Structure 1
Amino acid sequence: MNIAVNSIAASPASQTASESAATDLIRIEGVSKIFPASRNSAAVAALDGIDLTAPRGSITAIIGRSGAGKSTLIRLVNGLEKPTNGRVIVDGTDVAQLSEAKLRTIRRSIGMIFQHFNLLSSRTVFDNVALPLEIAGVSRRDIEAKVTPLLDLVGLADKRSRYPAELSGGQKQRVGIARALSTEPKLLLSDEATSALDPETTQSVLDLLARINRELGLTILLITHEMEVVKGIADNVAVIDGGRIVEAGSTFDVFSAPVHATTKVLLSGVPGMQLPDYVASRLSPTASPESATVLRIIFTGPHATDPILSQLSAELGIAVNILGGAVDEIAGKPFGTLFVSFPGDQSRVESVREFLRRQGLSTEVLGHVS
């Protein structure tokens, strides 16, 4: 996947339209969405020139601040909104050009899970999952044959006769997932589906989504503001700000080397990604004879757990002070960030950075501290 502003996986010139359709389940091309002015508000440009693809069988995350355009984008994919300009293509069909009758048909191939579950309180777990099938006119025998395995899949076989009020938040979301899968969709849309859950429950739901993606080959488009969710499950990520995609690519590439200011702010809450406050408050852009240089070292792939600092001290004879950092996993790949400081002039800084470059590591000078 190539990283490009306003695009995930920009197609190479040699790729034909049919090859693109076979590779990507979702293609959003030049999409803008303007909500017209009303008596109480001016016109709002919610989306502006969006280009985005989601490969078949992938988990693609859309992240951004509140009001950035995330929810509008997902509503375009299932046809709840129509773009002002551009095309929204799902499995080769331009959703924006469909009649309401044809939209109802294509929505059966698009499952949706929500932040607040949207379960009917008067229906049991089984009947909530069965609802889309009842609406589609499926027989009761066939409904039983479809719903029972889904309840097994989401771990709720023993809760089939319970009502939503008797369930935990995580169990309610599992009902929502089973319901979304009942029509055997090709695409699953998740709109902040874990933001109302505690961290432990969130992880169990993410594990379930990853299993569904892996075992069913289901394409998932994930809208979220939770960076830990993206880091743990998404193959690809696009950052949306002010209605435009400002950075996009593989999750590992974007998280390990963010470029846009918005991306850096969004990632600031991820443990180990930012300089500790007690150091950041003392940081100066200019060096003095008494100051130490603060360096960010990025460990990726096979180097994420190497004893680099001990090797550096042994080879260069430099005492390095560790300020903070973490070793973690992004999209299944090891990744580490380490913040260090050491005394010395510009020549010593370059010696340290050159040594780290030879080890295959990236570095960034953040400033200087007394």
Structure 2
Amino acid sequence: MTTSSLSPMVSFTGVSKHFPASGSGAAFTALDGIDYSVAKGSITGIIGRSGAGKSTLIRLVNGLEHASNGKVLVDGVDVGALDEAGLRTLRRSIGMIFQHFNLLSSRTVFDNVALPLEIAGVGKAAIEKRVRPLLDLVGLDDKHARYPSELSGGQKQRIGIARALATEPKLLLSDEATSALDPETTQSILDLLKTINADLGLTVLLITHEMEVVKAVTSDVAVIDRGRIVESGRTFDVFTQPSHETTRALLSGLPGSKLPEALARNLKQSPSAGDRAVVRLTFFGATAERPLVSQLISSVGTEVNIIAGTIDEIGGEPYGSLVVAYAATPETSGRAERFFAENGLVTEVLGYVA
């Protein structure tokens, strides 16, 4: 399936990866029949729980692992068909940033960024001409003579990004690159990735278990569970109308989506006399800015309790989530459903409480 009308930078066709039994464990399948495409110029997220297959998937892209079945293409090149020389050429067109930065402590900031160019045999003058603008891009040109031990976590990750851009790649891979950072630093790194994507036209493929990261920076997303892509599409569409239970479970941890624990424990699947329906409303676009609660109260003719809610943006588009409760009578439920339909709201009945 294709995430966009743009031509793909990366495509997986019928890709599986099996690991044989070893002394430390039994044989297992990490990826099982992956069909997915990453559009050129996009920021695409692959999200899933630990062990879902995310890291294996991204390692197939730069040839650190090879598929047991199927094909992985990067800009039309079959990664599995490349010899060692071909893989070295491919890897120069792919930048990689990591969770733990992987900087060399004995080298200065400048020399860390210059390392891929030195390995490629680039001369000193050309290295200087390439590295200093990259340090300026990531906001650390004044730190060029410092060492990693003198930098904060966010600064180290910026150096990692500059190093990944040194060979002028067309694809940037991010492997849990913000997982070790605090929220404020994470946001600054995500803003930098958006700038790089916009200014350099670089395709970014990131894997993460953090839904906040996906929401903040990606245009497209794929949800992976037990080695299979279970849902994919525009990030806005997947977040506002998730169809798979894994996606809904991952989204439940976002602010405004989680129910109070006492309420969650007491939810029932079927109503009894006097119960209240607990309903999640999802609204977006112009609807996100309207006084929906007061209009809902007027429409249903009874009190409506607000349990949780948030207003946010996904890919620059307004989005809101609101959990409300109202009397679970046929009359009230019917009026509420008509109101939801008339106002284009996506709804989900979470259960019933006394």
Question: What range is the shorter-chain TM-score in?
Answer: over 0.9
Equivalent in 298, 303, 306 of residue 319 of structure 1: 303
Deviation at 1:314?
A: 2.8
> How many residues in Structure 1 have an aligned counterpart in Structure 2?
354
* 2:194 is equivalent to residue 200 of structure 1: no
Q: Which moved more, 1:249-258 or 1:98-107?
A: 249-258
User: Distance in 1 between the 2:8 and 2:60 partners?
Assistant: 17
User: Distance in 1 between the 2:182 and 2:30 partners?
Assistant: 30
Unaligned runs of 5+ in 1: 1-6, 12-21
Confirm or deny: 8 A CA contact 1:312 1:318 kept in the other structure: no
Q: Which moved more, 1:204-213 or 1:41-50?
A: 41-50
Deviation at 1:303?
A: 0.5
TM-score, length of structure 1 as denominator length? 0.93
Please name the residue that 1:159 is paired with. Answer: 143
Of all paired residues, the percent bearing the same amino acid is 63
Q: Which moved more, 1:262-271 or 1:57-66?
A: 262-271
Equivalent in 329, 337, 340 of residue 345 of structure 1: 329
Deviation at 1:344?
A: 4.8
Q: Which moved more, 1:347-356 or 1:164-173?
A: 347-356
Please name the residue that 1:9 is paired with. Answer: 3
Relative to structure 1, the CA distance from residue 315 to residue 66 in structure 2 (aligned partners, 3 Å threshold; closer, same or farther) is closer
Give the 3-state SS of the residue equivalent to 1:289 in structure 2: coil
Give the 3-state SS of the residue equivalent to 2:266 in structure 1: coil
Please name the residue that 1:15 is paired with. Answer: none
Please name the residue that 1:148 is paired with. Answer: 132
Give the alignment of 1:93-108 within 5 angstroms.
93-108=77-92
* 2:224 is equivalent to residue 240 of structure 1: yes
Give the 3-state SS of the residue equivalent to 1:304 in structure 2: helix
* Moved beyond 4 Å, runs of 4+: none
TM-score, length of structure 2 as denominator length? 0.97
Confirm or deny: 8 A CA contact 1:111 1:180 kept in the other structure: yes
Deviation at 1:313?
A: 2.5
* 2:238 is equivalent to residue 265 of structure 1: no
Please name the residue that 2:64 is paired with. Answer: 80
Please name the residue that 1:30 is paired with. Answer: 14
Confirm or deny: 8 A CA contact 1:59 1:220 kept in the other structure: yes
Q: Per-residue displacement from partner, 1:245-292 (whole Å, max 9, x unpaired)?
A: 111111111111222121122122111123332322221222222212
Deviation at 1:10?
A: 8.2
Equivalent in 294, 299, 324 of residue 283 of structure 2: 299
Give the 3-state SS of the residue equivalent to 1:162 in structure 2: coil
Deviation at 1:8?
A: 4.2
Confirm or deny: 8 A CA contact 2:231 2:243 kept in the other structure: yes
Please name the residue that 1:328 is paired with. Answer: 312
Deviation at 1:42?
A: 2.2
Deviation at 1:40?
A: 3.9
Equivalent in 27, 37, 52 of residue 68 of structure 1: 52
Give the 3-state SS of the residue equivalent to 1:269 in structure 2: coil
Please name the residue that 2:348 is paired with. Answer: 364
User: Distance in 1 between the 2:336 and 2:75 partners?
Assistant: 51
User: Distance in 1 between the 2:266 and 2:18 partners?
Assistant: 44
User: Distance in 2 between the 1:202 and 1:315 partners?
Assistant: 42
User: Distance in 2 between the 1:73 and 1:247 partners?
Assistant: 16
* 2:269 is equivalent to residue 285 of structure 1: yes
Confirm or deny: 8 A CA contact 1:271 1:326 kept in the other structure: yes
Counterpart of 2:257, as a letter, is M
Deviation at 1:318?
A: 2.3
Equivalent in 106, 117, 120 of residue 136 of structure 1: 120
* 2:171 is equivalent to residue 215 of structure 1: no
Relative to structure 1, the CA distance from residue 316 to residue 66 in structure 2 (aligned partners, 3 Å threshold; closer, same or farther) is closer
Deviation at 1:295?
A: 1.6
Confirm or deny: 8 A CA contact 1:237 1:248 kept in the other structure: yes
Give RMSD over aligned pairs: 1.4
Counterpart of 1:185, as a letter, is P
Confirm or deny: 8 A CA contact 1:305 1:327 kept in the other structure: no
User: Distance in 1 between the 2:257 and 2:237 partners?
Assistant: 14
